[in-house]
Structure 1
């Protein structure tokens, strides 16, 4: 009887433990909406830019076909899903030093011409702690003196509980490239991976500058 009673108690405790649910933390009230870039560009400049307007025009014409190919490669490696996936792999709210937020990714880019004109919320949301991160432009640049780099223009807009942005911070992040664009016979995937990595580094640079600018205004 004693053994049966002990076993029964143990069964009750086990059942109670199995039925108990661990409380889950409530979802953050803040929302951070993220949009990828619509516009890509590639700009190569040689030594011709140092010889006045005629030299600059000749230099630009000489690189036009190559820049068109590089622009296509850039938009393929950093398409909309690629941009949002890269940003989503980062702790965006932490890097921006904002309150914990639910990150909401938007697949379709905003029309570039509307990004600066529309100051109201771009997403339908009633969040009392709402913000937006917009990738405005992605630029591959090669300069004869400075080498190759990927520059990305980000716009961070903070609304709080308001329908219009209370604060807008807009700035470039830029970092050097060693592999992209790949030469014939090079590993294309390695070049694409480098673009994604440098794209994330661009955002991290942007976030550091944003936090510094926000701290300076306090």
Structure 2
């Protein structure tokens, strides 16, 4: 016991004073805006192969026209990016992310710009250089407004979480999609009223909560 305690003291003494005094950090990155995806009726049907080609073609044409209207609706709106990176940053800052992710005492650093996709998928070390003795990160990889044939409108978010502790490699990591149903917000037909915009930001926060709940259930 004494030798282990002595080794701990020596390791702490070897750290720079700034590292010894620094708090643990949780770094958080938003996504690059919000995408949009539609699931067509013929894509969700288990018997899609039996649908006559003419009907399938008609459905495709109608869905593509709706997608084009949705893009035009957003472009013409006074709020063309309802879930822009800036909106995500403010929403993330409003959440107690350290406690939600089981990282009490961590200082939360929310970055203003997204990470590059290549960085997210290839870098296995810390995304930033820091003197913090322990480090974790949360990345909002994707945000999608989804319109499904059977399930209506939802906001889908893909989160990636890594906890390094005091190690050079992550001691735990987790990533998954979560979604929240939208009752007001719509881009086809358009509803970009203030209640609708409030709803989609609330759904974004709810998705963060749902992700944290899934993370806590993991061993």
Q: TM-score scaled by structure 2?
A: 0.75
Listed as ranges, the gaps of 5+ residues in structure 2 are: 1-20
Report the structure number with the largest CA radius of gyration.
1
Structure 1 CA distance, aligned partners of 2:74 and 2:125? 31
> 1:138 and 2:140 equivalent?
no
Alignment of structure 1 residues 193-204 onto 2, 5 Å:
193-204=198-209
Alignment of structure 1 residues 129-208 onto 2, 5 Å:
129-181=134-186, 186=191, 188-208=193-213
Q: Number of residues paired by the alignment? A: 188
Q: Secondary structure at the match of 1:207?
A: helix
Structure 2 CA distance, aligned partners of 1:167 and 1:35? 18
* Equivalent position to 1:81, from 80, 86, 102: 86
Aligned Cα root-mean-square deviation (Å):
2.8
Listed as ranges, the gaps of 5+ residues in structure 1 are: 1-26
Q: Residue 111 and residue 146 in structure 1: after superposition, are their counterparts in 2 closer, same or farther (change >3 A)?
A: same
Contact kept, 8 Å, 1:40 with 1:75, in 2: the verdict is no
Q: Match for residue 5 of structure 1?
A: none
Contact kept, 8 Å, 1:129 with 1:160, in 2: the verdict is yes
Q: Residue 48 and residue 62 in structure 1: after superposition, are their counterparts in 2 closer, same or farther (change >3 A)?
A: farther
Q: Match for residue 12 of structure 2?
A: none
Q: Match for residue 61 of structure 1?
A: 64
- Higher relative contact order by CA 8 Å / sep ≥ 6: 1 or 2? 2
Structure 1 CA distance, aligned partners of 2:72 and 2:169? 39
Q: Secondary structure at the match of 1:134?
A: strand
Q: What is the deviation of 1:131?
A: 0.5
* Equivalent position to 1:123, from 128, 136, 143: 128
